[in-house]
Amino acid sequence: MASFRAPPRKGENFELSADLNSEYKDKRKDAIKRVIANMTVQKDVSGLFPDVLKNMQTDDLEQKKLVYLYLMNYAKTQPELVILAVNTFVKDTDDPNPLVRALAIRTMGCLRAEKIIDYLCDPLQKCLRDENPYVRKTAALCVAKLYDLKPELVVENGFIETLQEMIADSNPMVVANTVAALTDIHQAAVAAGSNADVFAITSTVLNKLLIALNECSEWGRVAILNALARFETEDDRESEHICERVVPQFQHANASVVLAAVKAKVQWVALRNINLLLQKRPDILSNEMRVFFCKYNDPLYVKVEKLDIMVRLAGESNVDALLSELKEYSSEVDVDFVRRSIKAIGQTAIKIDEAAERCVNVLLELIGTRVSYVVQEAVVVMKDIFRKYPSTYEGVIPTLCANLDELDEPEAKASLIWIIGEYANKIDNADELLGIFVDTFTEESYPVQLQTLTAVVKLFLRKPDTSQGLVQRILNTATKDCDSPDVRDRAYIYWRLLSTDPGAAKNVVLAHRPPISLPRTTVSPALLEELLGEVSSLASVYHKPAETFVGRGRVSAESIPRKAGDLADDQLVTQRALQTVVIGQQAENLLNFDDPADVDDQQPSGIAATAVLASTPAAANLLAGTSSNPLDDLVSIFGNSGMGSTSTPAPPQYQNAFAGLSFASPITPAPAAPITPSVLQAASPVQSQPQQAQDDLLGLF
C-alpha cells in the first residue's frame, strides 16, 4: 500500500526569507519590518542574516535604518557575515545625504565586531572632517567607541589629535560631542594606568568651551560643565570670569519639556543631593528647616527625603518647630508616612539629648490616640530611646504595657518584650506579661520568639524565686516544639549556661550595652568625598559609586576592577575577623565544660596572634584574597582550634532556684535539631567527674 506524507510545515522564518528575496520592493520592506518586530519581542531571527543583508543597498532611508538596526543586534553572533556589509558601509559614508553618512559611521561604531574595526578607520577620518556638522558630531562619538574596543588603533591613526582640533569647531554641538568623547577617552586612559593627559584643558581650550556653553543642548552643556570642573585656575580674575559665564546656567529651564509629573522627580533629585551635602556640612542649612516642611501633595518618596533632611538639620534652636511638624504628620492618612514621621521623632530624641524628654511627651500623646499603627510604631521608637537613655524614662513603661492588646505586628511585639525583659526587676507583673507570649510561643514569628526567650531568661536571672516554672516551660517549648534552628540553638545555649554557670549566664544575658547613637553619614567618608565630586550625576542620587550600576560598553558592572582602597578595606576586615577568631580561641568557651581548665597564659594576642594564625592555609588564603569560599575557610579555622573552658559553681542564692528546674535531666531534642560539630561538639569526658549517669545537654548532639 502506498503511503503519503504531508509536506513539511514551513515556519514563519521561511516565509520571511521568501519575502526578503521578493522582486517587489514594498514586499521586501514589509518583511524587514516584520523581522524587526520579531527581534523586538526576543524571537530568534538570526538565521535571516544573509537575506536581510541583501536589502542593505537601497535609497530608502527608513529601510536602511531598519537593516542597520538588525545588523547592530546580530553582528556579535554572525561576525563572519558582517564582513560582507563593509563595502556598503564605506559606500554610504560617501553618500550625498549627510543623514546616510552619519548613520553609516554610527552603525559601524556600534557593531563592536573585531573583524570590522580595521575597516572603520578610513571612513572615520573622512567623517571627522566632513563639511556637515551633524556628520562631524556623530563621528566624534564614534572615536570614543573605537577607543573602548581598540585604544592603540585610535592612537596610531591620530584620532585623539583630530578631536583636540575639533574643540575649535564653529558648531557648538560638535564641540559638545567632542568634549564628551575626549572625557570618556581620558577616563578610560586613567583607569588603564596611563599617565598621558589625553584631554588637557588649557586657557585656550577654556575660552572655546565657554563660547560653546550657551549655544548647545542640555546634554552638551552637562558635558562642557563637567569638563570645566576639571580646570584649575591660575588667579582670582580667571575664576571670576568662569563664574560669570557659568552662573546664568543656574536659571536654565525648558518649560516646554518640564511637565508637572517630572517636577517632583527633579525635586527628589535635588533633595538627594542636598542630603549628601548635609552629611559633609550639616550646618550650612541649619536656619532653613522650614523650606523642607512637607506639603500635602508631595509624593511619598519626596516626603521621606524631606524627613531625613529635617532630622539632619535638627538642633536645639529648631527642635520645637520640628516636633510640632512631625506631630502634625503623625495624624495623616498615609500609614507609611505616619510611621516614618514617628520614627523621625525617635531619631530626634536620640540625636539631641536636651530634647529627649519633649520627644517622649509627644510620643505619649500619640500613644494616647489609640490608633493601632501609631501605637505600634511609638513602641518601637521607645525601645530605641530606652537604649539611648537607660533607666531615664521608666515612668513610661506602665503606659506601654497597658497597650499590649493593641500590638499585632512582630516588630512592635518584640520591642515591648525587650522593654519588659530589660526592666523586669521594676515591673511587678513582668512574669504575667511575659506569660502571655509564652502561652502563644509557637504561634509567634521568629523575632518575637527570640525576644521572648531572652526576656524570660532575664526575668529568671533577676527574679529566680518567682519565675522558675516560666523559664522551664519556655526552654522546653523552644527546644522541643519550635521549628526555627536559631530559636532552638539559643534555647540550648541558655539551658546549658543556667544549668552549669549562672554567673556566666548573668554576664552574658545581662551584659551592659553601650548607648546607641544616630549615624552622621550613610556612606563611608571616602565614598562621601567621591560622591560629592559627582554631584549632578546619578551617583549622587543613588548614593553609590558609578561603577556599581554603570558598565563599560557590553561589560557588566561586576567585571570592573575594584579600587585599591576597596581591596585594602577588605584585607583589614579579614584581618579583624581573624583576630576575632583568635580572641574566641583564647576566651572561655561556655559550650564545652568537659575540657581541662589549664589554659596557656603565654598565648600571643592581637596582631601577633593573627600572624601565628596566618600560617594555616585557610587563613593565608583569606588574607591574600585568593579564597574561593571565604566562609568555609573561616569555619575551618574554628574547627581546627581547640577550645578550653572553665565552669563556675552556682552561687548560693541560685542553688535553690536551680534545684527545682532539673536542667541537667536529659530531654528529647527536636528531630530537626542542627548538628554543628566544629562549635558545639562536646569534648571527651574528664574522669574525675563522678556523676556520669546524668547526661549533659550537649551530649544530645
Which residue, chain included where needed, has cell 517622649? 360
Q: How far apart are CA 166 and CA 127, in angstroms?
A: 12
Which residue has better confidence, 688 or 229? 229
User: 179 pLDDT exceeds 70?
Assistant: yes
Does residue 150 lie in a domain region?
yes
What is the pLDDT at residue 247?
65
Strand ranges (E), 440-581:
none
Burial (0-12, 13-18, 19+ Cβ within 10 Å), 341? buried
What is the pLDDT at residue 475?
94
Does residue 110 lie in a domain region?
yes
Which of 46-55, 189-198, 438-447, 679-688 shows the lowest per-residue confidence on average (mean pLDDT)? 679-688
User: 153 pLDDT exceeds 70?
Assistant: yes
pLDDT-derived band at 637 (thresholds 50, 70, 90) equals low
Reported as type and span, the H/E element at residue 671 is: none
To the nearest whole number, what is the mean pLDDT of the chain? 78
Instruction: Give me the mean pLDDT over the 527-535 stretch.
Output: 87
User: 244 pLDDT exceeds 60?
Assistant: yes
What is the pLDDT at residue 436?
93
User: 492 pLDDT exceeds 50?
Assistant: yes
What is the pLDDT at residue 579?
67
What is the number of structural domains in the chain?
Answer: 2
Q: How far apart are CA 624 and CA 423, in angstroms?
A: 47
User: 593 pLDDT exceeds 70?
Assistant: no
Torsion of CA 451, 452, 458, 462, to 10 degrees: 150
CB 157 within 8 A of CB 187: no
What is the pLDDT at residue 8?
41
What is the pLDDT at residue 170?
86
Does residue 130 lie in a domain region?
yes
Does residue 498 lie in a domain region?
yes
CB 301 within 8 A of CB 268: yes
Q: How far apart are CA 417 and CA 383, in angstroms?
A: 10
Q: How far apart are CA 586 and CA 603, in angstroms?
A: 8
Q: Which of 206, 233, 251 is the last residue of a domain?
A: 251
What is the pLDDT at residue 563?
52
Q: Which of 251, 269, 303 is the last residue of a domain?
A: 251
User: 238 pLDDT exceeds 60?
Assistant: yes
Q: How far apart are CA 125 and CA 148, in angstroms?
A: 17
User: 299 pLDDT exceeds 70?
Assistant: yes
Neighbours of 218 (CB within 10 A): 9
Does residue 44 lie in a domain region?
no
What is the pLDDT at residue 567?
58
Does residue 513 lie in a domain region?
yes
User: 633 pLDDT exceeds 80?
Assistant: no
CATH for 206? 1.25.10.10
Which residue has better confidence, 654 or 27? 27
User: 457 pLDDT exceeds 60?
Assistant: yes
Specify whether the backbone of 428 is left (phi greater than 0), alpha (psi in -120 to 50) or beta: alpha
Residue range(s) defining the domain that contains residue 505? 427-518
What is the pLDDT at residue 237?
74
pTM, full prediction: 0.53
Does residue 146 lie in a domain region?
yes
User: 111 pLDDT exceeds 50?
Assistant: yes
Instruction: Give me the mean pLDDT over the 441-462 stretch.
Output: 94
User: 167 pLDDT exceeds 60?
Assistant: yes
Does residue 411 lie in a domain region?
no
Q: What is the pLDDT of residues 303-328, one digit of tens each?
A: 999 999 999 999 999 999 999 999 99
Contacts 24+ apart (CB under 8 A), 249-256: 249/213, 249/221, 249/225, 252/218, 252/221, 254/218
pLDDT-derived band at 119 (thresholds 50, 70, 90) equals confident
CB 123 within 8 A of CB 90: yes
Question: DSSP character for 523?
Answer: S
Of 25-29, 258-262, 642-646, highest mean pLDDT: 25-29
Q: Which of 490, 518, 546 is the last residue of a domain?
A: 518
What is the pLDDT at residue 496?
92
Instruction: Give me the mean pLDDT over the 647-655 stretch.
Output: 51
pLDDT above 70 covers a percentage of the chain that reads 73
Instruction: Give me the mean pLDDT over the 553-561 stretch.
Output: 45
